[in-house]
């Protein structure tokens, strides 16, 4: 019997509503964290997972309070402890690694000081020893040249480096328990894979117990021994991670796993209907009843208890788990995407380059842009009508920049963007006529920010209809209702404000607004990355359906290669604003591919403990593209030498029509990558 270090007993946390009702965020949670194990807590936003993790440190956010239960650590209840005593536990016995290290490091204090502070508080080391310890810690989290990093301010580091600093700071107190609250969510795929690998290493190396909170089953699968699935403030499933990921016996987990797009499988995953009930909504029966495919009459009025199954060492909150147990291999069925590709070219980017450099006075006067090393360069893409083309790459790869130029928000430095073989759209917004504006519409990443909070859904969708088609009165209303139905929202949504909608509903409104203009091309900028996975699948399915109905062309920007695989016909991989590889998506996901594509593919986390990410390249952050040679030379693990540094690589075309820009011959590439 391994030692239990944290015991959560019947914990309920909530707040008082304006009417004085008690609204629960966490409902009667009990679980144990054992020494040396890593527990993953997974759930969608609003499931209470972060509140639970914070409670394990005896911290309850402003506005919330403990209604009942306890968090026992070293046989004392943290939630009843005085602040002075908590200060001795926090950072020393239990440490936190926050979600967004960029926000969680104090901006006016140097990295070294912030780590030193933890050491001063939680160790008896002398100043000299502390200095050495800081270097050791920074070394341990694999930051280059610890001495100089310690003298920097947080904003001078990249996101991945900041996250590593946060890890070092947490390790400073040599804690027995580490709480990680979405520690990799804001990071690039490659950085995320590296940070997870580091965390795994630390868990093994120090024997620290970890509680890993995330919405991302892919990340959870890589680190945890045991998984707790939360839904609406309750634990619905808890057990060994392999069993939970391979044979989920709760319908919610089952649906969640099915809604995640996989690299190995083209086509759209199945979405889970509905959304999580708001906290405070009264339900007598099972909280998952509305969305469940396996529900029965009794689920409506009786709420199931968490039942421990000895044989599986699993606890589950479902009446029907037995029937699920028999056939719950997650056999992923996907909706194959139909390509509506036509042979007509709709948008042509040739030799496009874009610069963010600040223009000198002379250039401003002459109305030209001079920058010999622009952010985006040499972009040649030919987009066919009805095609879905995806631009992928890490942050800073120029994918959103290209979208902005196509939308006219940013003028190009050189090259031509041509619509329908005749309209030249290279100039910026001011020189486009209303029809040019209508044919290209944008859907943004975050619907919270792209929808005007003071407009009703009706006003939001009416705007393009009035602007481009001059619709009025009954006709306008009819069109709005039509559009709402197309995005599967009822007529009664018209009078709602964005804040009254869930994340998925907001994004549907944004989609409806884009389609209201009857555009030829829709630019999708990370449209699903702010959404929960179950909602993401639904939005992807909706976009696909609308495309089939209207024959729209999508230009889809995403950092998530699995999502891209699911929806796109063709993929363009970008690094530092230069194209690396362009090809049909089924081919890009196979080898041979560009070394950078290989890096990206290797870093994808699948919700399967048996598929480990492959870390091919270091996750260094490059600030500027190199002046000459291959754009990926700085990080390439297969670099040949001077040729890569001096000469821009040629395009090589594979037998399947995939273009790869690399000096390494295709045969060589294939050989090294398959092994």
Partner 1 sequence: MLFLIIKRILLGLITLFIVSLITFVGTEILPGDACTTYLERQAFGEQLEACYRRLGLNVPAYERYVSWAVNAIQGDFGYSLSGEMPIKEVLGPRIKNSLVLASAAIFIGIPIALILGIVTALWRDKLPDVAISTVTIFAMTIPEFISATLLILIIAIWLEWLPGIVIVPTDVSFFELLPNIILPVIAIAMIMTAHMARMVRSSVIQVMASEYVQMAILKGVPYWKMVFKHVLPNALLPAINVVALTIAWLLGGVVVTEVVFNYPGLGRLVIESISNRDLPTVQALAIILASIYVSINLLADLMTLMLNPRLKTLQIRK
Which spans of this chain sit near partner 1 (rule: CB under 8 A)? 54, 57, 59, 62, 83-84, 86-92, 95-96, 98, 100, 103-109, 117-118, 121-122, 153, 155-156, 166, 169, 173
Shortest separation between residue 56's beta carbon and partner 1, angstroms: 11
Looking at beta carbons only, is 130 or 508 nearer to partner 1? 130
Shortest separation between residue 361's beta carbon and partner 1, angstroms: 14
Looking at beta carbons only, is 171 or 440 nearer to partner 1? 171
Q: Mention every residue, 6+ apart, whose C-beta is less than 8 A from residue 38.
A: 203, 209, 210, 211, 212, 223, 224, 225, 226
What SS3 class is residue 263? coil
Shortest separation between residue 100's beta carbon and partner 1, angstroms: 6
296: number of Cβ within 10 Å: 12
148: number of Cβ within 10 Å: 12
Shortest separation between residue 472's beta carbon and partner 1, angstroms: 45
Note whether 599 and 616 are within 8 A (CB): yes
Shortest separation between residue 87's beta carbon and partner 1, angstroms: 5
Looking at beta carbons only, is 127 or 156 nearer to partner 1? 156
| Helix ranges (DSSP H) in 385-502 | 399-407, 434-439, 447-450, 457-469, 473-486
Looking at beta carbons only, is 89 or 531 nearer to partner 1? 89
Looking at beta carbons only, is 103 or 145 nearer to partner 1? 103
Q: Mention every residue, 6+ apart, whose C-beta is less than 8 A from residue 425.
A: 406, 408, 417, 418, 419, 432, 436, 440
**Residues shown for the chain:** 675
Looking at beta carbons only, is 117 or 428 nearer to partner 1? 117
Looking at beta carbons only, is 57 or 582 nearer to partner 1? 57
Q: Mention every residue, 6+ apart, whose C-beta is less than 8 A from residue 472.
A: 466
Looking at beta carbons only, is 124 or 433 nearer to partner 1? 124
Chain centre distance of CA 552: 26
Shortest separation between residue 167's beta carbon and partner 1, angstroms: 13
Looking at beta carbons only, is 106 or 427 nearer to partner 1? 106
Shortest separation between residue 112's beta carbon and partner 1, angstroms: 13
Q: Can you tell me the distance from the alpha carbon of 374 to that of 370, in angstroms, rounded to the nearest whole number?
A: 9
615: number of Cβ within 10 Å: 16
φ/ψ bin of 137: left (φ > 0), alpha (ψ from -120 to 50), beta (otherwise): alpha
Looking at beta carbons only, is 96 or 318 nearer to partner 1? 96
Shortest separation between residue 105's beta carbon and partner 1, angstroms: 6
Among residues 60, 65, 54, the alpha carbon closest in space to that of 16 is found at 65
Q: Tokens 């430095």 identify what position? A: 413
Note whether 664 and 639 are within 8 A (CB): no
Note whether 386 and 339 are within 8 A (CB): yes
Torsion of Cα atoms, 404 then 408 then 413 then 416, to 10°: 110
Q: Can you tell me the distance from the alpha carbon of 43 to that of 63, in angstroms, rounded to the nearest whole number?
A: 22
* Cis? peptide before 592, omega within 30° of 0: yes
Shortest separation between residue 360's beta carbon and partner 1, angstroms: 14
Q: Tokens 């391979």 identify what position? A: 246
Looking at beta carbons only, is 107 or 453 nearer to partner 1? 107
Shortest separation between residue 116's beta carbon and partner 1, angstroms: 11
Shortest separation between residue 206's beta carbon and partner 1, angstroms: 18
CB-side exposure of 17: number of CA atoms within 13 Å? Answer: 10
């Amino acid at each position: 019997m391994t030692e239990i270090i944290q015991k959560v007993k019947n914990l309920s946390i909530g707040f008082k509503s304006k009417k004085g009702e008690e609204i629960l965020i966490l409902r009667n949670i009990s679980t144990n964290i054992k020494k040396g194990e890593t527990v993953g807590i997974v759930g969608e936003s609003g499931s209470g997972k972060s509140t639970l993790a914070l409670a394990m440190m005896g911290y309850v956010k402003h506005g919330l309070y403990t209604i009942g239960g306890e968090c026992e650590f070293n046989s004392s209840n943290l939630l009843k402890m005085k602040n002075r005593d908590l200060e001795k536990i926090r950072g020393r016995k239990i440490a936190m690694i926050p979600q967004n290290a960029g926000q969680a490091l104090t901006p006016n204090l140097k990295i070294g000081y912030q780590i030193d502070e933890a050491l001063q508080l939680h160790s008896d080391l002398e100043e000299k020893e502390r200095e050495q310890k800081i270097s050791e810690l920074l070394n341990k989290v694999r930051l280059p040249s610890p001495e100089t990093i310690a003298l920097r301010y947080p904003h001078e580091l990249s996101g991945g480096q900041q996250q590593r600093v946060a890890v070092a700071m947490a390790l400073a107190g040599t804690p027995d328990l580490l709480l990680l609250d979405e520690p990799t969510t804001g990071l690039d795929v490659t950085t995320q894979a590296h940070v997870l690998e580091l965390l795994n290493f630390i868990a093994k190396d120090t024997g620290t117990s970890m509680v890993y909170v995330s919405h991302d089953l892919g990340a959870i699968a890589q680190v945890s021994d045991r998984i707790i699935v939360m839904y609406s403030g309750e634990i619905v499933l808890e057990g060994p991670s392999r069993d939970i990921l391979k044979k989920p016996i709760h319908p919610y987990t089952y649906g969640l796993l099915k809604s995640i797009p996989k690299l190995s499988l083209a086509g759209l995953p199945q979405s889970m209907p509905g959304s999580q009930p708001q906290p405070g909504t009264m339900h007598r029966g099972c909280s998952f009843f509305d969305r469940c495919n396996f529900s029965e009459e009794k689920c409506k009025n009786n709420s199931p208890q968490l039942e421990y199954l000895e044989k599986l060492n699993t606890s589950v909150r479902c009446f029907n788990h037995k029937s699920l147990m028999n056939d719950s291999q997650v056999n992923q069925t996907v909706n194959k995407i139909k390509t509506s590709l036509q042979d007509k070219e709709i948008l042509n980017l040739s030799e496009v380059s874009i610069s963010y450099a600040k223009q000198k006075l002379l250039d401003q006067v002459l109305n030209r842009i001079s920058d010999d090393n622009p952010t985006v360069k040499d972009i040649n893409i030919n987009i066919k009508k009805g095609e879905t083309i995806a631009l992928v790459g890490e942050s800073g790869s120029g994918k959103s920049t290209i979208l902005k130029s196509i939308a006219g928000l940013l003028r190009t430095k050189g090259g031509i963007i041509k619509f329908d073989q005749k309209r030249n759209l290279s100039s910026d917004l001011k020189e486009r006529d209303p029809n040019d504006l209508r044919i290209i519409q944008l859907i943004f990443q975050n619907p919270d920010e792209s929808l005007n909070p003071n407009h009703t859904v009706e006003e939001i969708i009416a705007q393009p209809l009035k602007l481009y088609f001059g619709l009025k009165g009954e006709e306008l209303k009819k069109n709005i209702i039509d559009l709402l139905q197309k995005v599967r929202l009822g007529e009664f949504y018209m009078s709602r404000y964005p804040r009254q909608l869930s994340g998925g509903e907001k994004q549907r409104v944004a989609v409806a607004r884009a389609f209201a203009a009857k555009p030829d091309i829709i630019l999708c900028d990370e449209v699903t990355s702010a959404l929960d996975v179950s909602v993401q699948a639904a939005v992807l399915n909706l976009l696909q359906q609308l495309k089939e109905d209207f024959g729209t062309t999508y230009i889809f920007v995403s950092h998530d290669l699995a999502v891209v695989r699911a929806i796109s016909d063709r993929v363009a991989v970008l690094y530092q604003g230069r194209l690396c590889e362009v090809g049909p998506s089924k081919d890009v996901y196979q080898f041979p591919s560009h070394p950078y594509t290989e890096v990206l593919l290797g870093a994808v986390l699948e919700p399967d403990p048996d598929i480990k990410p492959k870390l091919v390249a270091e996750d260094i952050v490059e600030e500027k593209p190199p002046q000459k040679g291959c754009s990926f030379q700085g990080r390439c693990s297969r670099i040949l030498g001077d040729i890569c540094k001096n000469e821009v690589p040629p395009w090589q075309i594979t037998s399947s029509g995939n273009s790869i820009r690399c000096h390494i011959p295709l045969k060589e590439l294939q050989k090294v990558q398959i092994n």
